[in-house]
Amino acid sequence: MAQTFEDFKLNRQILNAIDDAGYTQPTPIQEKAIGPILSGQDIMGVAQTGTGKTAAYVLPMLMKLKYAQGVDPRALILAPTRELAMQIEENIKIFAKYTDLRTVVLYGGLGPKTQIAELEKGCDIIVASPGRFLDLYLAGNINTKYLQFLVMDEADKMMDMGFIGSIHRILEVVPRKRQNLLFSATMGDLVHKIAGDFLKFPTVIEVAPQATPAQTVTQILYNVPNLKTKLNLLQHLLKNDEEFHRLIIFCKTKNVADNIFSYCERRYGTSSVRVIHANKGQNTRINSINAFKEGEVRILVATDVAARGLDVTNVSHVINFDVPIVIEDYVHRIGRTGRAYNTGTAITFCNPAETYFIKKIEKLIRQDIPIEEIPEGVFIEETPYNERQEIAKEIDIQKRKENPEFKGAFHDKKASNTKDTKKTKPGKQAKESKESFKERTAAAKKALSKGSFQGNKRGKR
Ligand code: AMP
């Protein structure tokens, strides 16, 4: 096993760039992948962001491409999002700085003119999202004849985002003789299928068991009955600005992200928070990420799609304001903290309807997320009628998914809910929730029995 980068017999230009980047020792995926890639093997790498997987394929690829040649690309790297594509390009720039290799990055969301002009200048490497690559190929802007390398990064996310059709089209238009590398944090059925279509006798490299969160991340779960209490808890945690100095708050929708952003803006000032989601313009997103990276802002509020592949080191905390519904996103979200050799904490807020997804996540990561009591001094709010209805509805849907025979408890409960909601005090309301959740969902049952949704006797302001 290689202990140093020198052991890989990389050329001087690359070794100097690695030195400049401050990498002293290969990470496990780099140890395992660089040698086989240099010797021309196809690779299937099961690794999440934060493990150093980008350098694991970029370094040997640069070594093999050596120097600029002709005008047509010789390597194509496919990535699911603009952010990830840009980060890969950044990595390439860092390691190719002493070479004359040229990289063009292609992604949607803005007009193709500049990208076409870049392609016309000639390039050796293309980093692209599948859709934009295909559009420009079909418009005759890219010659694929000389491609020797095809990399799929975050293949699982590309499948989730519905790129399978574009990827199949791309596989039809690239030369048959080429080296293929596929990286994915998780190995679902679709990833297996695309790996089968794409890789030839691959060397499988797994740095941690499938979907295992990085060991440098401490995970905490708070069972929180409702939105308002989630906000109270968030506010309580953020009071500790020394510990929570650089954090990402994940939300499941653009709408929630915007609301949390406004909430943080009001409390902590405009200059301490930014938000990124799919409706934000490309430039706004880039500016926000850069401001966060450079430590100008303390809080980044993000949705899953916007945050995929986000490479920010030294994030002290990830807060999952909502539990992700695409359960694989949990691993990606918490991978933003504890990157490379740093440690970090990932905190998840879970309401009774979200317990269902937590159970699935725990199965996926093959570990229980440690539950903590809501801290002293956090006021446990009464769940408003509408929110209770929403939660009950969601639990019914979940029950039906698990058991199509299930008739649904939601409608039966409706009448009694209407009667007593207004009168209940926090403690009482929570107790009643306890009863009904117990009846309705086995998943919520466990959390409830741990007392986490109970009226908090300490919950006085
Ligand atoms: P990645 O998994 O490629 O997104 O990389 C995660 C982070 O680890 C990035 O910030 C890299 O710059 C950093 N990194 C990658 N390889 C090394 C290494 N050998 N030594 C130190 N940091 C590294």
Chain segment 218-229, per-residue pLDDT in tens = 999 999 999 999
Report the alpha-carbon distance of residue 432 to residue 125 in Å, rounded.
60
Percentage above 90 pLDDT, the chain: 59
Nearest of 257, 250, 397 to residue 324 by alpha carbon: 250
Mean pLDDT across the stretch 254-262? 94
Percentage above 70 pLDDT, the chain: 85
Taking the centre of ligand 1 as the mean of its atom positions, its distance from the CA of residue 318, in whole angstroms, is: 18
Among the ranges given (130-139, 230-239, 339-348), the one the predictor scored with the smallest mean pLDDT: 339-348
- Report yes or no: 426 and 380 within 8 Å, Cβ to Cβ: yes
Residue 461's pLDDT band (cuts 50, 70, 90): very low
Kindly report the backbone phi and psi dihedral angles of residue 49, in degrees, each rounded to the nearest multiple of 5, phi listed first: -65, 150
116 sits in which H/E element: helix 113-121
State the pLDDT at residue 89: 96
Q: Say yes or no: CB of residue 48 within 6 Å of ligand 1.
A: no
Kindly tell me the burial class for residue 87, based on how many C-beta atoms sit within 10 Å of its own C-beta (0-12, 13-18, 19 or more): buried
Report the alpha-carbon distance of residue 393 to residue 379 in Å, rounded.
25
Q: Say yes or no: CB of residue 395 within 6 Å of ligand 1.
A: no
State the pLDDT at residue 454: 39
Taking the centre of ligand 1 as the mean of its atom positions, its distance from the CA of residue 341, in whole angstroms, is: 9
Q: Please determine, for residue 277, whether its predicted confidence score (pLDDT) is greater than 50.
A: yes
State the pLDDT at residue 19: 92
**What's the order of all strands across the beta sheet hosting 179-184?**
103-106, 125-128, 75-78, 149-152, 179-184, 43-46, 203-206
Residue 43's pLDDT band (cuts 50, 70, 90): very high
Domain 5-206, CATH class in plain words: alpha beta
Kindly report the backbone phi and psi dihedral angles of residue 253, in degrees, each rounded to the nearest multiple of 5, phi listed first: -130, 160
- What are the residues facing 149 on neighbouring strands? 75, 179
Q: Please determine, for residue 348, whether its predicted confidence score (pLDDT) is greater than 90.
A: yes
Distances (CA, A) of 319 to 68, 157, 198, 315, 451: 44, 21, 36, 11, 22
Mean pLDDT across the stretch 416-440? 41
- The mean of the pLDDT values for the chain is 85
Domain 217-383, CATH class in plain words: alpha beta
Mean pLDDT across the stretch 74-82? 96
State the pLDDT at residue 79: 96
Taking the centre of ligand 1 as the mean of its atom positions, its distance from the CA of residue 51, in whole angstroms, is: 6
Our mutation pick for probing the ligand 1 site, out of 27, 183, 314, counting the most ligand atoms within 8 A of Cβ, is 27
Q: Please determine, for residue 422, whether its predicted confidence score (pLDDT) is greater than 80.
A: no
Residue 309's pLDDT band (cuts 50, 70, 90): low
State the pLDDT at residue 208: 67
- What are the residues facing 301 on neighbouring strands? 249, 275
Q: What is the pLDDT of residues 102-153, one digit of tens each?
A: 999 999 988 999 999 999 999 999 999 999 999 999 999 999 999 999 999 9
State the pLDDT at residue 326: 83
Q: Please determine, for residue 69, whether its predicted confidence score (pLDDT) is greater than 90.
A: yes
β-bridge pairing 43-46 and 179-184:
parallel
Question: Are domains 5-206 and 217-383 of this chain identical in fold?
Answer: yes
Taking the centre of ligand 1 as the mean of its atom positions, its distance from the CA of residue 25, in whole angstroms, is: 10
Take atom 15 of ligand 1 and give the residue whose Cα is closest.
Answer: 52
DSSP character at residue 317: E
Nearest of 356, 378, 375, 402 to residue 459 by alpha carbon: 378
- What are the residues facing 128 on neighbouring strands? 78, 106
Report the alpha-carbon distance of residue 66 to residue 16 in Å, rounded.
14
First to last CA, the chain: 58
- Report yes or no: 307 and 83 within 8 Å, Cβ to Cβ: yes
For residue 340, give the ligand 1 atom closest to its CA.
Answer: 8
Our mutation pick for probing the ligand 1 site, out of 6, 339, 341, 342, counting the most ligand atoms within 8 A of Cβ, is 339
CB-based contacts of 289: which residues, under 8 Å, 6+ apart? Answer: 83, 276, 300, 310, 312
CA angle in degrees (0–180, nearest 5) for 139-140-146: 135
Report the alpha-carbon distance of residue 44 to residue 176 in Å, rounded.
18
Report the alpha-carbon distance of residue 421 to residue 394 in Å, rounded.
19
Q: Please determine, for residue 97, whether its predicted confidence score (pLDDT) is greater than 80.
A: yes
Q: Please determine, for residue 261, whether its predicted confidence score (pLDDT) is greater than 90.
A: yes
Q: Say yes or no: CB of residue 332 within 6 Å of ligand 1.
A: no
Q: Say yes or no: CB of residue 396 within 6 Å of ligand 1.
A: no
Q: Note the helical H segments in 294-347.
A: 304-307, 328-334
Residue carrying structure tokens 């499941």: 252
Domain residue ranges of the chain, discontinuous segments joined by +: 5-206, 217-383
Kindly report the backbone phi and psi dihedral angles of residue 134, in degrees, each rounded to the nearest multiple of 5, phi listed first: -65, -45
- Report yes or no: 345 and 386 within 8 Å, Cβ to Cβ: no
Residue 341's pLDDT band (cuts 50, 70, 90): low
- Report yes or no: 57 and 33 within 8 Å, Cβ to Cβ: yes
State the pLDDT at residue 328: 79
Kindly report the backbone phi and psi dihedral angles of residue 25, in degrees, each rounded to the nearest multiple of 5, phi listed first: -140, 140
Q: Say yes or no: CB of residue 135 within 6 Å of ligand 1.
A: no
- Report yes or no: 328 and 188 within 8 Å, Cβ to Cβ: yes
State the pLDDT at residue 311: 66
pTM of the model: 0.58
In three-state secondary structure terms, 125 is strand
Among the ranges given (191-195, 196-200, 325-329), the one the predictor scored with the smallest mean pLDDT: 325-329
State the pLDDT at residue 459: 35
